Amino acid sequence: GAVVSQHPSRVICKSGTSVKIECRSLDFQATTMFWYRQFPKQSLMLMATSNEGSKATYEQGVEKDKFLINHASLTLSTLTVTSAHPEDSSFYICSARDGRVNTEAFFGQGTRLTVV
């Protein structure tokens, strides 16, 4: 299957700082990227959907000013957690899809964020 690379895999940051997570599609063009969050022992929860060159669409209850998403190219999307707090500690996962060819979505390996 196609490869989606997410970086970093783990990050620890201080409360009040911002953290950027990158998601890259390595061998295909991702017209659409999805960002998920997963708390321990829970399922993945969709945070937002982004289309290349457009503003992201956020799910209900997700603060767009706190979770900044940029999808400026067909191979890169970034999620920035601004003014992080301990309750933002979670497993963040990106997914990418080329909607023009209706393929399945492929997932990155996830980023474990710990805010101390």
Partner 1 sequence: DAKTTQPPSMDCAEGRAANLPCNHSTISGNEYVYWYRQIHSQGPQYIIHGLKNNETNEMASLIITEDRKSSTLILPHATLRDTAVYYCIARLNFGNEKLTFGTGTRLTIIP
Site for partner 1, rule CB under 8 A: 1, 4, 6, 31-32, 34, 36, 43-46, 49, 51, 91, 93-95, 97, 99, 102, 104-110, 112
How many whole angstroms separate alpha carbon 17 and alpha carbon 14? 6
64 closest CA partner among 76, 49, 77, 45: 49
Specify the residue, 51 or 114, whose C-beta has the smaller distance to partner 1.
51
- For β-strands 111-115 and 10-13, DSSP reports them as parallel
**Shortest Cβ 85–partner 1 spacing (Å):** 22
In angstroms, give the least distance from the CB of 78 to partner 1.
17
